[in-house]
Structure 1
Amino acid sequence: MSDEAKLREAMCWHAKSLFDRGLSGGTTGNISARTPDGGLLVSPTGSSFGRLDPARLSRFDAAGNLIDGDKPTKEMPLHTAFYDTRANVGAVVHLHSTHSVALSMLPGVDPDNFLPPLTPYGIMKLGKVKLLPFFLPGDDAMGAAVRALEGKHAAVMLANHGPVVSAGDLDAACNGIEEFEETARLAMMTRGMNPTALTPEDVQALVKKFNVEWDV
C-alpha cells in the first residue's frame, strides 16, 4: 500500500472514530492532511465523518488544483489558511463538537485565551486558543481571519460554530481536537462552581517545559 493510500485510510479511520464518539454528528466537520508530494487530501462537502470513502476524498496537487475525488468541503479557505501561515502543518481538523460550541456562546470567555487552564493537556496540545467571531459557513472571511493571526495559533474557536486544530500530522491534530472538546466539557461542567484552575505559574512552567506556543 502506498503512503497516500495509507493516509487516505487513516483519515477515514480517524473521522469515523470522531463520529462514533459523538464529536461530529450528521454531515458536520471536515478534515484534511498533507500528502507526501505536497498536495492535500480533504473530506468532501456534505460528507459524514462516519461514512467517508478513501477513494472519494478530494485530492489537490501542490499548486492547489483539485485533481481527483469529490468536490471538497466549503471550508477550504479555513484549511488552506493554516497550511499557508504555519510551518510544518500536516493536518487540520474542524468539528462542531457540542461543549466547545456551547462555551463559545457564553459570556465571560477570554477571546485571546478561550480555554481555561483546567488541566495541563489542553495547554500542551493546543497552546493559546483564539476565539474568532461568527462567520457564515464557507465564508472566505473565515480563512482571512485565520491568516490575520499570522500563524501564531495552532488552534482557534469559531464562535457558534466549532473548534479548528492544526498540527504536524493527522494523529496530533485529532488528539488535539479531542483535548479541545474535553477541556471545553470540563469548563462547562464546572462553570459557576469556582473550580481550582492552574495558576499562572503552573501555566508558565508547562509552557517552558513543553515548548508551548503561548506568549503571542
Structure 2
Amino acid sequence: MTAILSEETKLRDEIAAVGKSLFDRALTFGSTGNISARLSNGDLLMTPTNASLGNLDPARLSRFTAEGVHVDGDKPTKEAFLHQCMYCQQKLSGAVVHLHSTYAVAVSILEDVDPDDVLPPLTAYYVMRVGSLPLVPYYPPGDTALANAVAEKAKNSHAVLLANHGPVVAGKTLRDAQYATEELEETAKLHLLLEGRRTRPLTPQQRNALLKTF
C-alpha cells in the first residue's frame, strides 16, 4: 500500500510539472488541454475540468478506477473518454496528452491532408516519436460519438489528430507522451512553414528503417 501511495504522489507531481512546462511554452493556453497517466494498478489520474495546465494542484487531480469510474478528486474533464479510448486501444500506454496546440490545430483544419497520415515524414524524430497520424473526423467537444471514431483510428496509431480540435497522443510514460506531442507540434509548424515550397521528406525506405529500429 505504501508503494502505491508513493507511486501516486510522484505521478501527481509529474503531471503538474508537465502541465506547467507545456503551458509556460504556449503549447496550451487558458483551460484547454488535458493530461492523464496510469498507475500500476490500472487506475487513472487526470487533469480536471476547467483547470489550467499551468497551475495544477496535484492533490485535486481526478482519479478513475481501471474500469473508468470517477472515484476521487475534482470533476473530470468532459474529454475523459478520449483518454480512455486511447488506453483501450494502446494497451502498453502509461499516459495520454491532449492539447489544442496552435500548429497542430491549424493542420487539422487544412482541406487537402491525407486522412490516413496527416503529416509527411519530414524528420527522423517525428517518425521515431509519432510514426503515423490519422485524422479523426470532426465531432463537437464532449460528443460521445467521438469515442468510437478515436478508438477506430487508435487501433494502429498511438497518436491521432482530431479535425478542427487538436492532437491526442499516448506514450509508454508521461514523458514519452509529452515528447511525442511536442515533436508532432514542431512538425506541424515545419509543414506549414514549408507550404508551397518543394520539400524532401524521408523516403518510404528511410521511414520504414526507422520504424523497424525504434
Task: Give the TM-score normalised by structure 1.
Answer: 0.94
Which runs of 5 or more residues in structure 2 are unaligned? none
Residues 75-97 of structure 1: per-residue CA shift (max 9 Å, x gap): 01111111112211110000000
| Shift, 1:103, TM fit | 1.1
Moved more, 30-39 or 177-186: 30-39
Report matched runs for 1:1-216 at 5 Å. Answer: 2-149=6-153, 151-210=155-214
Give the secondary-structure state (helix, strand or coil) at the position aligned to 1:124: helix
| Amino acid aligned to 1:179 | E
Task: Give the TM-score normalised by structure 2.
Answer: 0.95
Residues 182-208 of structure 1: per-residue CA shift (max 9 Å, x gap): 000000111111122111221122122
Asked whether the 8 Å contact 2:43–2:64 carries over to 1, the reply is yes
Asked whether the 8 Å contact 1:122–1:183 carries over to 2, the reply is yes
| Amino acid aligned to 1:165 | V
Q: Classify 1:207/1:80 alpha carbon distance in 2 versus 1 (closer, same or farther; 3 Å).
A: same
Give the secondary-structure state (helix, strand or coil) at the position aligned to 1:67: strand
Separation in 2, partners of 1:84, 1:183: 27
Asked whether the 8 Å contact 2:86–2:154 carries over to 1, the reply is no
Moved more, 57-66 or 42-51: 57-66
| Shift, 1:150, TM fit | 5.9
Separation in 2, partners of 1:148, 1:87: 14
| Shift, 1:149, TM fit | 3.1
| Amino acid aligned to 1:125 | R
| Amino acid aligned to 2:130 | L
Asked whether the 8 Å contact 1:4–1:36 carries over to 2, the reply is no
| Amino acid aligned to 1:143 | A
Q: Classify 1:209/1:106 alpha carbon distance in 2 versus 1 (closer, same or farther; 3 Å).
A: same
Which runs of 5 or more residues in structure 1 are unaligned? 211-216
**Matched length:** 210
Separation in 1, partners of 2:196, 2:119: 15
Separation in 2, partners of 1:187, 1:94: 20
Separation in 2, partners of 1:5, 1:70: 16
Report what 1:214 is aligned to. Answer: none
| Amino acid aligned to 1:164 | V
Give the secondary-structure state (helix, strand or coil) at the position aligned to 1:80: helix
| Shift, 1:36, TM fit | 2.4
Give the secondary-structure state (helix, strand or coil) at the position aligned to 1:148: helix
| Amino acid aligned to 1:163 | P
| Amino acid aligned to 1:153 | S
| Shift, 1:128, TM fit | 1.0
